Amino acid sequence: MQKILVTGGMGYIGSHTVVELIQAGFDPIIIDDLSNSSVEVLDGIEKITGTRPQFFNFNLCNDVLLGNFFQNNTDVRTVVHFAASKAVGESIKRPLLYYKNNLLSLLLLLEQLAAYEDSKILFSSSCTVYGQPDQLPVTEQSAFKQAESPYGSTKQICEGILRDACKANPMLKAISLRYFNPVGAHESIQIGELPQGTPNNLVPLMAQVAAGIQPELKVFGSDYNTRDGSAIRDYIHVVDLAQAHVKAVHRLLGNKQRNNYEFFNIGTGNGISVLELIHEFERVNKLKLNYKIVERRPGDVESIYADTSFAKKELGWQAKLGVEDMVRSTWKWQQSLSSKK
């Protein structure tokens, strides 16, 4: 079985991708420092797949441990790199931590991979690299705008590092996947998002308000130039997103790339407003969410959704799950978390 190193494989998107990789016949090995996840995620992965992947607990910025890992695993040439700090608000307060964690981990991985002639890396990027695009839906050719946060800036810089590294070394193959807004949980409800403290993202907050953990949901802005005044995003089910990684791994390993550095939008192509999503959550889960409209949140863009035609044509991937699946699995996952407490 082909070994694949999955950094951050215990996290939200990472764990769902590990499941899909195992089910596609790969042998994922996880490095994760558990800074935003829990060792119990391994149990969830094992319950779904019947396989308990190898797991190493350390931070990728530890170049000694990373070097040891590659010395002991010389057959690992392919990396899916999720491990990164990802809270936008925290990145504004602690920019150096974000630049260090997100840039250094990628640089150290690339240094290790440089020892091989046939190394491949799949990188977690974000639609945040586009800022507020001039045209919607946003295509991969849209220019990067000034990043709204150090977190966004790290994603732009990491993509630049990959582009330059691939230009200098034609043997290195890389793909960046620019995620839109990942939500939902695995249908088995064995894995899902584990927010630490009060979540900042809309969907985990909705779930916590429904569960009575948070008193109310604040809708940031009702005066945007959109159909109902609230901001529009392209929410994508995390299992669809995980499957996009498997497609990208196949593309890397099968040498199907047109250029040795490529990047794809990974969204559904459907823009949904905050209020529409709230009403869908209420309708599908047959409950009422306590929400109120407040001021816009600084740094938010008005509207963004993906042009997914490039991913469809080149990766042979498109999202299969809809908003109903997203809000239903989110609520089931929240209920399972609440029942464990």
Residues with catalytic function? 151
322 near ligand UD1, judged by CB under 6 A: no
Three-state secondary-structure class, residue 221: coil
105 near ligand UD1, judged by CB under 6 A: no
Which amino acid, residue 103? L
User: Which of 67-75, 190-198, 218-226, 236-244 is the region at the interface with ligand UD1 (rule: CB under 6 A)?
Assistant: 218-226
Q: Binding marks (x or -) toward ligand UD1, 257..276, rule CB under 6 A?
A: -----------------x--
User: Which has the closest alpha carbon to 173: 162, 188, 187?
Assistant: 162
Radius of gyration of the CA atoms of the chain, in A: 19
16 near ligand UD1, judged by CB under 6 A: no
For the range 85-93, what are the long-range contacts, defined as Cβ-Cβ under 8 Å and sequence gap of 24 or more? 85/35, 85/151, 86/36, 86/151, 87/151, 87/200, 88/128, 88/148, 88/149, 88/151, 88/152, 88/200, 88/299, 89/149, 89/200, 91/149, 91/150, 91/151, 91/154, 92/149, 92/150
User: Which has the closest alpha carbon to 247: 177, 182, 183?
Assistant: 177
181 near ligand UD1, judged by CB under 6 A: yes
Three-state secondary-structure class, residue 131: coil
Q: Which is nearer to ligand UD1, 53 or 152 (CB)?
A: 152
DSSP calls for 193-212:
----SS--SHHHHHHHHHTT
Encoded tokens for 63 = 């170049």
State in angstroms the smallest separation of the CB of 131 from ligand UD1.
Answer: 9
208 near ligand UD1, judged by CB under 6 A: no
Q: Which of 16, 77, 178, 233 binds ligand UD1 (CB under 6 A)?
A: 233
Q: Which of 95, 229, 299, 322 binds ligand UD1 (CB under 6 A)?
A: 299
Contact 263, 173 (CB under 8 A): no
User: Which of 45-53, 198-206, 251-259, 333-341 is the region at the interface with ligand UD1 (rule: CB under 6 A)?
Assistant: 198-206
226 near ligand UD1, judged by CB under 6 A: no
State in angstroms the smallest separation of the CB of 112 from ligand UD1.
Answer: 26
45 near ligand UD1, judged by CB under 6 A: no
Encoded tokens for 70 = 């590659």
325 near ligand UD1, judged by CB under 6 A: no
Contact 154, 97 (CB under 8 A): no
User: Which of 36-44, 51-59, 134-142, 297-305 is the region at the interface with ligand UD1 (rule: CB under 6 A)?
Assistant: 297-305
297 near ligand UD1, judged by CB under 6 A: yes
Q: Which of 138, 162, 185, 219 binds ligand UD1 (CB under 6 A)?
A: 219
State in angstroms the smallest separation of the CB of 39 from ligand UD1.
Answer: 23
300 near ligand UD1, judged by CB under 6 A: yes
Contact 265, 180 (CB under 8 A): yes
User: Which of 73-81, 159-167, 215-223, 324-332 is the region at the interface with ligand UD1 (rule: CB under 6 A)?
Assistant: 215-223
Three-state secondary-structure class, residue 162: helix
Residues of this chain that bind ligand UD1 (CB under 6 A): 88, 126, 128, 148, 152, 181, 200-202, 205, 217-220, 231, 233, 274, 297, 299-300
